[in-house]
Structure 1
Amino acid sequence: MRILSLRLIIALILGVTLVSLASSWSDVQDDKEALRRDLQYKAETFGESLASNAELYLASGDTGKLEQLVRRFSNRDHLLGIGIYDHDGSTLVMTRELGSLLSGAPEALSSALSHDRPETRFTRLRFRRVYLLAAPLHAPDKSIIGGIVIVYETGYIRTEIFRVWGRVFIRIAGQVLVIVAITLLIVRWSVAGPIARAAQWMKTLRTGRQVVQPPSKDLDFLLPLAREMAPLAESMQRARAAAEIEARLRNTNESLWTAQRLAEHVRSKLDGSSLFVVSNREPYVHNWQGNTITVTVPASGLVTAIEPILCACNGTWVAQGSGSADAETVDNHDRLQVPPDDPKYTLRRVWLSAAEEEGYYYGFANEGLWPLCHMAHTRPTFRASDWEFYNAVNERFADALVEEMAGERDPVVLIQDYHFALLPRMIKDRIPHARVAIFWHIPWPNPESFSICPWQRELLDGLLGADLIGFHVQAHCNNFLSTVDRVLEARVDWEHFSVKRNDHWSSVLPFPISVELTEDSSGLPLDHSFEEERSAIIGELGIDATFLGVGVDRVDYTKGIIERFQAVESFLERHPRYQGKFTFIQIGAPTRSNIPRYAEFQREVESEATRINDRFKRGKWRPIVFLNRQHSHKEVRRYYRAAHVCMVTSLHDGMNLVAKEYVAARSDDRGVLILSRFTGAARELRDALIVNPYDIQGTGQAIARALEMDVTEIVDRMRRMRKMVKEHNIYWWAASLIGELCELRLKR
């Protein structure tokens, strides 16, 4: 209670002081300005009178009368001195005290003579605060024949302000003493006593002893709280039991998937087995920042989906250690417990050399498999050395996984993406009883395109080591099965979408990945907050615009960014009324810049944006704003909320979660999504405006349709898309994938 009283007193002292100072500051400043204005007026009035006489004497060359004039007026209040100068700045007459402060003509006089106008300023002369007025003197023909300087001391203003502040502080001290005294009395009589009696009563309730409730007048305002304390423990137990029952029941109906429901579902499916997740990117990255280590969570839907499962079953995540301080945070076995604030599962880090990362990740995975699978008119590059590194790194991860799974009865392994096509076979050969799934996050091309790869047989055989192979959409599953059918000696069961090779069955099924949709919790009126967001962004970017479009992508040649810019250009050509009104904001995160094709594409995007802007821009309006840096989820969400139109125009994509992120962010049911037909998302978000990104004019027409669409239609479309994303969210994806894997019958 003493600490509470002390905090309350300190808070009151600070509050009263700050409020009083804030309210007094304006008054003090007004007093200061009033004193300054008074001095300026007095100096200007005096200067005009003195100058008219000085001009007569100076024109006649009567220096003696000038000296008499200066002496006669030199004894005014706060006047430091008067100086009269020739037209070239030479001193003619000057009072003694001013002469000790000025060694020559002041700068203000030079400025006054050169501009033929009076100059005034508050300044310092030899550490003395002064107000200086300098004015030209004219002959009857208006020519400048000299100048006059009048200097007033301003120290009295500072002294007067100090007196005012002194009175303010005395007043504040009095207010603080009175308020603190009253507060202490109130705390002692009305708070401390009732709290002490209530605390004693709660203690007896907690220990289970019978006690008579104090009278209501004793507990005063704490009575409602006191009445709830007795049944609190029992209520919490009942609530906990009900929550566990509800979580189990939710797995049997169509209620929405949440992190809690996902954890409960997977825990029951695993039935005591351990889960092992493999990905190139790790869920937590440790970096040095100065002399301290900071931890960050990469922006990834995968972390959102998988982490609740690993937390629920105390699983293990195997990933490449990429942070500058990663090695300092692991134990002797390259493990650490995460999340950092509440450890619940194991992160196992695998270390790669710079050469291995260059060959495995940048080389084979991203210069070979990435363009091969996306068919975006960039020639894949396959090098034997990159293939060797790809094999070696997959082996490295297999070694780490086998080490982590030692002694496990029925381990479950979930491998992520095209970086580990060989890993399923390596795991299955070493631990045949493990359940292995791999999810391929990018498209799978047709057999003719995939045949470009010199090691197609090895990649397919590696993937078919998995019990379950997942893609985003059925079309990619079909392409994969067709490729296997053409390349390998294997039995393809098209009815059940599975492949039998070397007496092992692999199921090939679609699992469209998604995002988490949470309702807006800002508490602000939706229309109001979204409009404010838009205005704030326009102000920050320094542009004039009425309508905003947004695109969010890595600067990758598969994303159709240049075609998108050209569609904006076509739109503005065909609909000139939107020139000066519509601005498209492209958020482009730099990526893989050490790969020549990516560095070249970065320059192409910047050049195209500049060309279109140079063609159309006027005043503060620009048709395209290219923000070429990394943005956090929070920053990107602001642009989603502000944009009238979101353009996702990938030339080829597995899913493209930007489309679903935009839908998830629009809790106001506004905004129009323009979506490429070549994305996986186009199969689900059918209320988007579906376009062919290669059709520049057609995509431009879609922008016009989006901006001119009736509000009712916009709301209807967005609500249907939000319902789809809400019901088939990221947790639903993870539950479907792992649930299907755990249901598969494995040959023992």
Structure 2
Amino acid sequence: MHAPESERDELYVDHVYDMIVVSNRLPVDYREGPDGTTQWNSSPGGLVTALEPVMRAADGAWIGWAGVADREFPPFEHDGISIIPVPLSADELEDYYEGFSNDTLWPLYHDVIAPPSFHREWWEAYVRVNRRFAEAAARAASDGAVVWVQDYQLQLVPRMLRESRPDLVIGFFNHIPFPAYGIYSQLPWRRQVIDGLLGADVIGFQRAADAGNFSRAVRRLFGYSTHGTIIDVPDDGGDPRRVVARHFPISIDTAGFEELARRADVQERAQEIRESLGNPETIMLGVDRLDYTKGIRHRIKAFGELLRDGRLKVEDVTLVQVASPSRERVETYRQLRDEIELAVGRLNGDYSTLEHQAIAYLHHGYPREEMVALYLAADVMLVTALRDGMNLVAKEYVACRFDDDGVLLLSEFTGASDELRQAVLVNPHDIEGLKDAIVEATRMPKRERSRRMRALRKRVRDNDVAHWSASFLETLTGAGIIKPGVSDPLQAAINRMAGTERLLVALDFDGTLAPLVDRPEDARATDRARAAIERLGAADDTRVAIVSGRALESLGQVASPPEGTLLSGSHGVELQLDPAGVTIDLRESETAKLERLSSIVEEIASGADGAWIEHKPAGLALHTRRLTGNAGTALQHAARNRVEAELLGITVRTGKSVLEFAVRSSDKGESLTRLRQHVGATAVMYVGDDVTDEDAFATLDAEDVGVKVGQGKSIATYRVRSPEDVADLLERLADARDAAREAPSRWP
């Protein structure tokens, strides 16, 4: 049974996150311990490997189903990643997952190799479950967070998120093909699915052809304008929202597979496998989920005919077929298993000898070490899929062949064939052509094998899974995966500006100098950052300013700024340019407006446990960080509507889990301009993490440097990952400034 919707806020999340991955399954598998305790084991895969670094850097969470029906699990931490399970009932598993996802969408998106089924109750379950995933993501997402939705089971989530949380940056990646319109148009809910996907800012596909199919479907169904990879989506009567739809071919953890392949115990296991098969001249290998799209029947048919015709001999060639179980509750898959096992039995009965088996058929999965040993043992890898979004097995085989040997025989109908052009490419529907290609692969000279494999390995190394995720996130946010430390381009920028005559270093506080905390009064700058600020500010040619949305009094208390540091509070309404400070004298009308503003917001916040108000000289801030995502968003929405309806001339600004109101307008951009003029700066470095810092970045000139901290869209040229990296940046700037002062002829 599910908890009522009213109870689920507490069930799902007690924290909000800047980066969220949403997928049908979590990156962990549930297991009940011998004493009845809940245990979680990592389910390593390319997606997890790619996203772990960015999720840790950006305070990320992973939302998905735990793999157990009719069970509720609270959020938990696993290997440094926050996990938020979403529950599914047994009925939903049958209708949403086995039904609509895998008996409607899967066959339809794979060119109707098997006929899809269309049932209204399946669609209704699909909508219901997608909404549950979207609501979980909306609750867990901080203001302006990046949400990356994965795969065909959740195609409605982007639009649902866009409607409830327009502040979010939303990406979607489709791991399977997207069909041509003539096939896609069979789907009764074709408009709803396309509209669901168009809620994303970036929609990723495996192949350029898939992205083209999607854009053509958008034009046919909605008539929206498309320009290359850009789709203009009307947005509530305003300017069209630009959606990117393009290919981002997924890959694997290349280095991880090669590292396993180089292990002595794995190589020994590969030799054991060859010996157990009778040491044939050639071992051919197929590794697939037991799925009708994989072309397993076609390769078995081709192999059988080669044995029948004497072009291959069972004493010389053995086929190892690993067919891991898949969706065995779906009738189509049960039938496929029966057909494959019948074909294997007949072929072995006809051609195997006591010493040599024609086909070693293995209907179960294996741990990664065993798979790598199989790849090393195999002389020829057979990938004969009839339709496949990518096929990572082909890339895994190539990654493991550090010996530059082995032959990859690859279907033209896989996404991998677009990249791995040095494979032996085949049309698996052409049985005669497939047979010729198999013979060619078994007889290929060593020199030719090595030439092809070297080219394949370079391609897989240069385009690994980290490159895939960084490319997608860079398109989505402008950042990609932000590595720790200071990047080479940012170091070069530091070196360029180090010799400027008069430098202003302006820094946001919360999330930039100080890590974000639940209680703002507990925030403190890191020791390294404070020491670097003291070094920078000690010289006459450099001034440091802290630019914050906090009231000046609060900023002075938490920042404990070194002597000589300039302060800007309340988004520039308050400026302290000397120890005497600056006072704000509000006009009588502004004072009255501030009193009414406080009354309205206090009344609204009083009914929300966890919300609190920060009073400022010219306004106030409604903080919702302690509320769940949906509750915080709803409270901010109510406060904004009420204030705008009852008071004129109020400036409203949204930040990270905070809504700010001011009776006197200013922003960090105006503040930075005034600070620049006060200092007489010839160059400015500005560092900030919030959406409110974008106003400051917008004022920077060509010789200035803007640095965004963390994920999220930004016009800043450079990025760092965290406050610790800000400290590193300031230390490097202080070092470069010292070196520039010591250099002769510093200025012309």
One of 75, 80, 87 as aligned partner of 1:335: 75
Give matches, 1:290-305, under 5 Å.
290-291=34-35, 293-305=38-50
Give matches, 1:544-555, under 5 Å.
545-555=280-290
One of 451, 456, 460 as aligned partner of 2:190: 456
The SS at the match of 1:558 is: helix
Cα gap change, 1:524/1:635 in structure 2, threshold over 3 Å: closer, same or farther? Answer: closer
In structure 2, what is the equivalent of residue 500 of structure 1?
233
What is the root-mean-square deviation of aligned Cα atoms in Å?
A: 2.5
Matches of 1:434 and 1:294, distance apart in 2: 33
Aligned residue type for 2:60: G
Q: Identify the structure with bigger relative contact order (alpha carbons < 8 Å, sequence gap 6+).
A: 2
Matches of 1:633 and 1:452, distance apart in 2: 39
In structure 1, what is the equivalent of residue 659 of structure 2?
none
In structure 1, what is the equivalent of residue 31 of structure 2?
287
Pair 1:473 & 2:207 matched: yes
Aligned residue type for 1:490: Y
Pair 1:401 & 2:111 matched: no
Matches of 2:341 and 2:474, distance apart in 1: 45
Pair 1:509 & 2:246 matched: yes
Compute the displacement of 1:290 (Å).
2.6
The SS at the match of 1:409 is: strand
Pair 1:362 & 2:98 matched: yes
**Unmatched 5+ residue regions in structure 2?**
1-15, 480-711, 716-748
Aligned residue type for 2:45: S
Matches of 1:421 and 1:348, distance apart in 2: 19
**CA-to-partner distance for each residue in 1:498-547, whole Å, 9 max, x for gaps?**
34244322110110000111275579799x985x5444114445x56331
**CA-to-partner distance for each residue in 1:106-139, whole Å, 9 max, x for gaps?**
xxxxxxxxxxxxxxxxxxxxxxxxxxxxxxxxxx
Cα gap change, 1:653/1:547 in structure 2, threshold over 3 Å: closer, same or farther? Answer: same
The SS at the match of 2:294 is: coil
In structure 1, what is the equivalent of residue 687 of structure 2?
none
Scaled by the length of structure 1, the TM-score of the pair is: 0.59
Conserved 8 A contact 1:278-1:319:
yes
Pair 1:276 & 2:20 matched: yes
Matches of 1:517 and 1:589, distance apart in 2: 22
Conserved 8 A contact 1:675-1:689:
yes
In structure 1, what is the equivalent of residue 181 of structure 2?
447
Aligned residue type for 1:488: F
Pair 1:377 & 2:113 matched: yes
Compute the displacement of 1:719 (Å).
0.8
Conserved 8 A contact 1:436-1:467:
yes
Give matches, 1:649-688, under 5 Å.
649-688=384-423
In structure 1, what is the equivalent of residue 6 of structure 2?
none
The SS at the match of 1:453 is: coil
Larger Rg: 1
Scaled by the length of structure 2, the TM-score of the pair is: 0.59
Matches of 1:719 and 1:686, distance apart in 2: 12
Conserved 8 A contact 1:570-1:697:
no
Matches of 2:218 and 2:293, distance apart in 1: 25
Conserved 8 A contact 1:285-1:326:
no
In structure 2, what is the equivalent of residue 633 of structure 1?
368
Matches of 1:496 and 1:523, distance apart in 2: 39
The SS at the match of 1:274 is: strand
The SS at the match of 1:551 is: strand
Q: Percent identity?
A: 36
Conserved 8 A contact 2:76-2:84:
yes
Cα gap change, 1:412/1:335 in structure 2, threshold over 3 Å: closer, same or farther? Answer: same
Cα gap change, 1:345/1:577 in structure 2, threshold over 3 Å: closer, same or farther? Answer: closer
Cα gap change, 1:617/1:544 in structure 2, threshold over 3 Å: closer, same or farther? Answer: farther
Conserved 8 A contact 1:276-1:414:
yes
In structure 2, what is the equivalent of residue 90 of structure 1?
none
One of 56, 59, 70 as aligned partner of 1:311: 56
Conserved 8 A contact 2:385-2:414:
yes
Matches of 2:39 and 2:714, distance apart in 1: 46
Compute the displacement of 1:725 (Å).
0.6
Cα gap change, 1:709/1:622 in structure 2, threshold over 3 Å: closer, same or farther? Answer: same
**CA-to-partner distance for each residue in 1:355-408, whole Å, 9 max, x for gaps?**
111111111000000000001421001110000000000111111111112xx2
Cα gap change, 1:617/1:393 in structure 2, threshold over 3 Å: closer, same or farther? Answer: same
Compute the displacement of 1:624 (Å).
1.1
Conserved 8 A contact 1:673-1:689:
yes
Matches of 1:701 and 1:287, distance apart in 2: 47
Matches of 2:25 and 2:261, distance apart in 1: 35
The SS at the match of 2:293 is: coil
Aligned residue type for 1:335: P
Aligned residue type for 2:53: P
Compute the displacement of 1:573 (Å).
3.4
In structure 2, what is the equivalent of residue 610 of structure 1?
345
In structure 2, what is the equivalent of residue 722 of structure 1?
457
One of 379, 386, 394 as aligned partner of 2:122: 386
Matches of 2:39 and 2:405, distance apart in 1: 38
Give matches, 1:21-420, under 5 Å.
274-291=18-35, 293-323=38-68, 327=72, 330=73, 334-339=74-79, 344-405=80-141, 408-420=142-154
Compute the displacement of 1:431 (Å).
1.0
Cα gap change, 1:673/1:499 in structure 2, threshold over 3 Å: closer, same or farther? Answer: farther
Cα gap change, 1:568/1:523 in structure 2, threshold over 3 Å: closer, same or farther? Answer: closer
One of 409, 427, 439 as aligned partner of 1:704: 439
**CA-to-partner distance for each residue in 1:127-153, whole Å, 9 max, x for gaps?**
xxxxxxxxxxxxxxxxxxxxxxxxxxx
The SS at the match of 2:333 is: helix
The SS at the match of 1:592 is: coil
Matches of 1:515 and 1:303, distance apart in 2: 10
In structure 2, what is the equivalent of residue 220 of structure 1?
none
Cα gap change, 1:378/1:311 in structure 2, threshold over 3 Å: closer, same or farther? Answer: same
In structure 2, what is the equivalent of residue 106 of structure 1?
none
The SS at the match of 1:739 is: helix
Aligned residue type for 1:607: L
Matches of 1:427 and 1:454, distance apart in 2: 23
One of 409, 415, 426 as aligned partner of 2:160: 426
Conserved 8 A contact 1:376-1:557:
no
Cα gap change, 1:478/1:325 in structure 2, threshold over 3 Å: closer, same or farther? Answer: closer
Conserved 8 A contact 2:261-2:400:
no
Cα gap change, 1:595/1:372 in structure 2, threshold over 3 Å: closer, same or farther? Answer: same
The SS at the match of 2:143 is: coil
Displacement over 4 Å in runs of 4+ = 323-327, 519-526, 744-748
In structure 1, what is the equivalent of residue 291 of structure 2?
556
Give matches, 1:584-603, under 5 Å.
584-603=319-338
In structure 2, what is the equivalent of residue 579 of structure 1?
314
Aligned residue type for 1:277: V
Q: Whose helix fraction is larger, Structure 1's or Structure 2's?
A: 1
Cα gap change, 1:397/1:520 in structure 2, threshold over 3 Å: closer, same or farther? Answer: closer
**Unmatched 5+ residue regions in structure 1?**
1-271
Conserved 8 A contact 1:589-1:628:
yes
Pair 1:713 & 2:457 matched: no
Aligned residue type for 2:249: P
**CA-to-partner distance for each residue in 1:632-662, whole Å, 9 max, x for gaps?**
2121111101000000110001001010010
Stretch deviating more after TM superposition (347-356 or 738-747) = 738-747
In structure 2, what is the equivalent of residue 87 of structure 1?
none
